[in-house]
Copies of this chain bind each other. A is one copy, B any other.
Amino acid sequence: MEAFTVEVITVGNELLSGRVVNTNASWIAGRVTKLGGAVKRITTVSDDVEECSAAIREALARRPKLIITTGGLGPTFDDRTLESIALALGIPLELNEEALHMVREKYGGDVTPPRLKMAKLPRGGKPLYNPVGTAPGCLIEVGDTIIIALPGVPLEMEAMFEMHVEPIILRLSHVAYTSMLIRVDTIEESSLAPMIEEVMKKCKAVYVKSRPKRNGEAYIEVEVSSRALTMKEAEENVAEACRLLRELIAKAGAKAQEL
């Protein structure tokens, strides 16, 4: 079951200096996955135009259905994501009347140069209304790929994702996805490995992944997931794989419980 592919590009020096944890990336990845898409890559680059446009060009070359960028849409000199998109596509950045209208409305007509900057989009780009903050987003189609630029402020990004991106994803998506977590105790990950392989061999439509955890006590967390044409089918796939895995774990004398 192939899901449609998405790449996420998060822009900002604060992500590369480690000052900010990239929760935008995981938030978007979680939403896209639940809506039936498959995030293939997340790239974080600095506010530098060369770095950012290189990442966009490289993502485009892999031909995902959707590229979502976050960050770099505001009024300051280092908000240069739209300039980077324009450079990557070899098109000019120009004042967009609809975007200007959005910015003007926010400021009651007082459009200073830093504010005017937020209304400049790559030629052919469509401005996306920002219901929380000021900077409009931007949507631009390149061949079979849709590029969507969202702001980096989490509240703004999330509101705009729900307003503009979800409808596009639902249109692209024809798959359902579900997953279940199992906690396994009193077994080594290396002893669990052959059981997981057996489950993956017998249940073709599922993916099983284990991770050692150390929250106070040590245990192993196993995630069983499936993509299918319907949610019912995906849930049945996961249930069957979990049943088989728990059987194998019990046979080995270890403990498993759903989380």
Copies of this chain, complex-wide, total 2
Q: Is A168 an interface residue (CB 8 A)?
A: no
Q: Using known A-B contacts A44-B42, A190-B114, determine if residue A207 contacts B19 with beta carbons closer than 8 Å.
A: no
Q: Is A40 an interface residue (CB 8 A)?
A: yes
A153 surroundings in chain B (CB, below 8 A)? 211-212, 214
CA distance A153 to B193 in the complex (A): 17
**Which A163-213 residues have a C-beta within 8 angstroms of B?**
179, 189-194, 196-197, 200, 207, 209-212
Shortest C-beta distance, A133 to chain B (Å), equals: 7
Shortest C-beta distance, A206 to chain B (Å), equals: 13
**Which A4-40 residues have a C-beta within 8 angstroms of B?**
13-23, 25-33, 38-40
Q: Is A55 an interface residue (CB 8 A)?
A: yes
Q: Quick check: A134 and B190 within 8 Å, CB to CB?
A: yes
**Which A86-124 residues have a C-beta within 8 angstroms of B?**
112, 114-115, 118
A31 surroundings in chain B (CB, below 8 A)? 18
Main secondary structure of the interface of A (DSSP, over half): mixed
Q: Is A223 an interface residue (CB 8 A)?
A: yes
Closest to A77 in B: B197
Shortest C-beta distance, A134 to chain B (Å), equals: 7
CA distance A129 to B78 in the complex (A): 41
8 A-B pairs with CB atoms under 8 Å apart are: A16-B33, A22-B26, A41-B45, A76-B189, A76-B193, A114-B190, A115-B190, A153-B214
> 5 extra interchain contacts, Cβ-Cβ under 8 A, other than A16-B33, A112-B191?
A18-B31, A18-B32, A41-B44, A43-B44, A76-B193
